[in-house]
């Protein structure tokens, strides 16, 4: 049985954090085992943040892939962290990389890749990609599954 006594959010009524900085990413222990590492994927197709200049909402499809070592990010805490960006003003690049860095800080994975597919504002979509290095040898790493933006046609 996985040890969950340290979790404060799972199974509890929790308010949305006021900011990404205030959000707590919780983890649960993970035993990697033999063979190639597993790749864990989180997909957030309705991510929202605010433009730091205009205050208008920005929308993205975020895909996080990571190879856990000794800890997994607990998914409810990740959801609360992601939703905390709804009132956070930052550029697309900053939001995307901040998410990746926070998951790394919490879980200390073998490897992480994050892709932010930002919907157009002003006619230009922005896609942001960041990773910690080469994927682990032998790990199966599927495509992110998000097609490049092609407009309506």
Q: Which domain holds residue 59?
A: 39-131
Active-site option among 51, 69, 94, 127: 51
What is d(CA 79, CA 92) in angstroms, rounded to the nearest whole number? 18
- Is 42 in contact with 99 (CB distance < 8 Å)? no
Any domain includes 136: no
Q: Is 77 annotated as a binding residue?
A: no
* Each residue's pLDDT tens digit, 52-103: 999 999 999 999 999 999 999 999 999 999 999 999 999 999 999 999 999 9
Q: Is 92 annotated as ligand-binding?
A: yes
Residue 95 maps to a domain: yes
> Does 74 carry a binding-site annotation?
yes
Q: Per-residue pLDDT tens for 100-132?
A: 999 999 999 999 999 999 999 888 899 999 999
**94 is annotated as an active-site residue:** no
Q: 73 among the known binding-site residues? A: yes
pLDDT tens for 80-89 read 999 999 999 9
Task: Provide the number of structural domains found in the chain.
Answer: 1
Active-site annotation holder among 44, 58, 65, 95? 58
121: closest CA among 58, 46, 69?
58
Q: Is the pLDDT of residue 153 over 70?
A: no
Helix (H, G, I), strand (E, B) or coil at 152: coil
Global pTM reads 0.91
pLDDT for res 10? 74
Hunting for tokens 């200390």 — which residue is that? 108
CATH number of 71's domain: 3.30.1130.10
Active site residue 95: no
């Amino acid at each position: 049985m996985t040890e969950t006594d340290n979790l404060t959010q799972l199974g509890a009524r929790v308010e949305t954090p006021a900011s990404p900085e205030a959000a707590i990413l919780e983890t649960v222990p993970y035993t990697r085992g033999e063979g190639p590492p597993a790749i864990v994927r989180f997909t957030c197709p309705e991510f929202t943040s605010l433009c730091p200049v205009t205050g208008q909402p920005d929308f993205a499809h975020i895909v996080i892939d990571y190879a856990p070592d000794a800890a997994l990010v607990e998914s409810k805490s990740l959801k609360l962290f992601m939703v905390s960006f709804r009132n956070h003003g930052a550029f697309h690049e900053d939001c995307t990389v901040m998410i990746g860095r926070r998951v790394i800080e919490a879980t200390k994975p073998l490897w992480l890749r994050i892709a932010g597919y930002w919907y157009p504002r002003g006619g230009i979509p922005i896609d942001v990609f960041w990773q910690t290095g080469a994927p682990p040898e032998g790990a199966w790493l599927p495509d992110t599954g998000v097609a490049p933006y092609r407009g309506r046609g």
